[in-house]
Chains A and B, each alone.
Chain A
Amino acid sequence: MGQTLFEKIWDAHLVRPAGSAEGDGAPAIIYIDLHLIHEVTSPQAFTELESRGLPVRRPDLCLATIDHSTPTLPAGADGKRPYITEAARVQVETVQENCAKHGIELHGWDSPNRGIVHVMGPELGATQPGMTIVCGDSHTSTHGAFGALAFGIGTTEVGHVLATQCLLQNKPKTLGIQVEGELAEGVTAKDVILHIIGAIGVDGGTGYVIEYFGSAIRGLDMEGRMTLCNMSIECGARAGMVAPDEKTYAWLKGRSHAPKDEAWDRAVERWRQLPTDADARFDRLVEIRAEDIEPSITWGTNPGMVIGISENIPDRHDPAATDAQSYMHLKPGQQLQGEKVDVVFIGSCTNSRISDLRAAAGVMRGRKVADGTRVLVVPGSEIIRREAEAEGLHQVFIDAGAEWRLAGCSMCLAMNGDMAQAGELVVSTSNRNFKGRQGRGARTVLASPLTAAASAVTGRVTDPRSLAGEVQ
């Protein structure tokens, strides 16, 4: 029987198979090709290495950035960055010191390439098909868009990878999610993944690695595939993947960390062997029809509480729904469309790439942000920021009355000070609508950049298809 994409990568990275030692029953040990690092989940791991007197085994396979605790407003006249707290500044300085000491490539304040870890890795071409990629961050699943096996780990495991370049891993099962058909106008990769999570539930993928396939997935560009894989963790999956194809290779070619010349040709030849064989089998298969997907939004306090934008919120009265409705100030069975919007956040590793900004600018061009609505647009990387500025997108946002910021995680998890106030309704292109995620008492509605931009200009939760014109 043939193998899936996941199985091929797993086998190629086995350092030691599971349970091979007499009686220790240890999980498999797999080798990690790329270890992404950021300031929040790494300090304790470096401290652990230090206390054991261990070196970083392969600093050349690590790549670091600062993104979570970093302010998105520029330094003041005194040259000081407006950190939310002293602790945030210390955290950023700690990763800088650790990377300098161990010879790890860090894209800090002085780098033109600094960005959200899951935006920067692919952008630099460090993320490549067939790789094993880890990071102390659950949205590492993003990198699976390139046909890599990429997943989030905890800080103890960050320490393991720093010291050994390896991880102890139990082999996950495989879940195939097939999306066939054509996406309707105004329906984006974000809507596809929200729809999928709504369909299988927030723990529907637990224990699995997902491979997304089918004509609708093939049709997505690389940025759409990243958005899709990014949110795999929101249904509990270990990772999400899309098989590499010509789009993948074209997107990667020429990027600074991608192979060059003959090495590139050899790599592409290897990558072409990766896609799942025709006779391979998934442990579980879910089929979704592209035609069934409309612009999707969340109504509750986890990413599985999803509706199509034209639908009413479910007429549910179970404790979880009641609790979510009460937090969100919504009633069972009511429309969410038309609710007043206080804040719009366009950003995060889910939707902060240039195509997301173009889509949002397409809706906002020539329009004004509604009175009483605050709009924050935060590019995923400094490269994207410059690209957007070169195209004049930033001017579209500024002219509309939105704030245009420096790259970072920003209001996605609101630990850098960018946050909403209690009770405010936020339409957000990020990935988590947990209680308090975007600020104490803030009510998050997850949506695509099109829906977010449409809601920005009307000041109400708005179906982007209802605005005449510009929607691409």
Chain B
Amino acid sequence: MTTDISSHVISCHCYCLPFDDIDTDQIIPGQFLTTTQREGLGAFCFHSWRHDESGSALDEHPLTEFDNSRHQVLVAGRNFGCGSSREHAPWALLDMGVRAVISSRFADIFFNNALKNGLLPITLDEAVVEFLHQHPHHPVKIDIQSRSIEIEGHGSFEFPLDPFAAHCIIEGIDQMDFILQQDALIRQHEERRPG
């Protein structure tokens, strides 16, 4: 596994979670939302998958073989991140060592939340996702600059990424600063709004 920050390339192996509609309640259950921090949520990521009803850790679960020194990309089914808007979901994934998630379709709010935190949501055709599901732990190389993913022995695929979001990740642009810089326009709007 290598992550070259300067060239924005992630080379690693995929980890497959071949389930559709993985909701943010699964990613980080409600009981862990009482935190007032962003950090430390990785330990609770997919908690209810990894523990039985009495709270004891399970030996076998969908993440048994997940190893963040090897796997930095999750490959999920369709509609990943649906449900609650909790940004705790991308925080937990990042904290667990995940840098990117592949799905054929992401839920809207999760997609935004992920990008805002530098977690890459990579949308690929269902057939490509299916290939990855059939080849667990497959090596891939993701290039943020060219918005493409190279799947070893299968081909190179472009994925859609809001150019501005990509630009912000690559250039390290802070979106809050970017909006703050529009102060003159914001003031103009405030002057013309009713009430």
Task: Please list the residues of chain A having a beta carbon within 8 angstroms of any beta carbon in chain B.
Answer: 13, 15-16, 24-27, 29, 31, 33, 40-41, 43-44, 47-48, 52, 54, 68-69, 84-85, 87-88, 90-91, 94, 136-138, 152-157, 159-160, 163-168, 170, 202-203, 206-207, 233, 236, 238, 259, 263, 266-267, 270, 302, 319-320, 323, 413-415, 422, 432, 434-437, 440-441
B87 CB, nearest partner CB in chain A, Å = 4
Query: In this complex, what residue of B is CB-closest to A259?
Result: B195
B19 CB-CB contact with A under 8 Å: yes
B167 adjacent to A25 (CB under 8 Å): yes
B1 CB-CB contact with A under 8 Å: no
Mask for B167-190, Cβ within 8 A of A = 1, else 0?
A: 100000001101110100110111
B179 adjacent to A164 (CB under 8 Å): yes
Number of A-B contacts (CB under 8 A): 174
* Measured CA separation A164–B189 after assembly (Å): 12
B85 adjacent to A302 (CB under 8 Å): no
Jot down 7 A-B pairs with beta carbons below 8 A, ordered by A: A40-B34, A138-B84, A166-B186, A206-B105, A266-B194, A434-B23, A436-B48
In the complex where A136-B85, A435-B25 touch, is A164 in contact with B186 (Cβ < 8 A)? yes
* Measured CA separation A202–B189 after assembly (Å): 36
B150 CB-CB contact with A under 8 Å: no
| Closest 9 pairs (CB-CB, A-B) | A154-B113, A43-B36, A154-B87, A87-B34, A152-B85, A415-B30, A138-B85, A156-B116, A155-B87
* Measured CA separation A206–B104 after assembly (Å): 13
A166 adjacent to B34 (CB under 8 Å): no
B21 adjacent to A202 (CB under 8 Å): yes
Task: Please list the residues of chain B having a beta carbon within 8 angstroms of any beta carbon in chain A.
Answer: 19-21, 23, 25-26, 29-31, 33-38, 48, 53, 78-79, 82-87, 90, 105, 107-109, 112-113, 116-117, 162-164, 167, 175-176, 178-180, 182, 185-186, 188-190, 193-195
* Measured CA separation A213–B19 after assembly (Å): 34
B123 CB, nearest partner CB in chain A, Å = 11
B195 adjacent to A320 (CB under 8 Å): no
Pick the contact of B182 from A29, A33, A157, A432 — CB < 8 Å? A29
A153 adjacent to B37 (CB under 8 Å): no
B108 adjacent to A206 (CB under 8 Å): yes
Pick the contact of B79 from A159, A203, A207 — CB < 8 Å? A203
A440 adjacent to B48 (CB under 8 Å): yes
A440 adjacent to B53 (CB under 8 Å): yes
List 13 additional contacts besides A137-B85, A415-B33; criterion CB under 8 Å. Answer: A13-B189, A15-B186, A16-B185, A31-B189, A87-B34, A154-B85, A160-B176, A163-B176, A163-B180, A202-B79, A203-B105, A302-B82, A435-B48
* Measured CA separation A33–B189 after assembly (Å): 11
Residue from the set B21, B25, B85, B113 with the largest chain A CB neighbour count within 10 Å: B85
* Measured CA separation A320–B19 after assembly (Å): 7
B152 CB, nearest partner CB in chain A, Å = 27
* Measured CA separation A289–B30 after assembly (Å): 36
**What B residues does A263 contact at CB under 8 A?**
195
* Measured CA separation A437–B33 after assembly (Å): 13
Pick the contact of A44 from B37, B162, B175, B185 — CB < 8 Å? B37
A437 adjacent to B30 (CB under 8 Å): yes
**What A residues does B195 contact at CB under 8 A?**
259, 263, 267
A52 CB, nearest partner CB in chain B, Å = 7
* Measured CA separation A152–B167 after assembly (Å): 24
A91 adjacent to B107 (CB under 8 Å): no
**What A residues does B25 contact at CB under 8 A?**
413, 432, 434-437
A15 adjacent to B109 (CB under 8 Å): no
B179 adjacent to A203 (CB under 8 Å): no
Query: In this complex, what residue of B is CB-closest to A320?
Result: B20
Pick the contact of A168 from B36, B179, B194 — CB < 8 Å? B179
Pick the contact of A202 from B36, B48, B82, B116 — CB < 8 Å? B82
Residue from the set B48, B84, B178 with the largest chain A CB neighbour count within 10 Å: B84
Query: In this complex, what residue of B is CB-closest to A323?
Result: B19
B52 CB, nearest partner CB in chain A, Å = 9
**What B residues does A152 contact at CB under 8 A?**
85, 109
A15 adjacent to B21 (CB under 8 Å): no
B167 adjacent to A24 (CB under 8 Å): yes
A27 adjacent to B189 (CB under 8 Å): no
A130 CB, nearest partner CB in chain B, Å = 9
* Measured CA separation A405–B72 after assembly (Å): 45
* Measured CA separation A201–B167 after assembly (Å): 33
Query: In this complex, what residue of B is CB-closest to A266?
Result: B194
* Measured CA separation A167–B105 after assembly (Å): 23
A94 adjacent to B36 (CB under 8 Å): yes
Query: In this complex, what residue of A is CB-closest to B107?
Result: A236
**What B residues does A236 contact at CB under 8 A?**
79, 82, 107-108
**What A residues does B53 contact at CB under 8 A?**
422, 440-441
B172 CB, nearest partner CB in chain A, Å = 14
Residue from the set B78, B105, B178, B188 with the largest chain A CB neighbour count within 10 Å: B178
* Measured CA separation A414–B31 after assembly (Å): 7
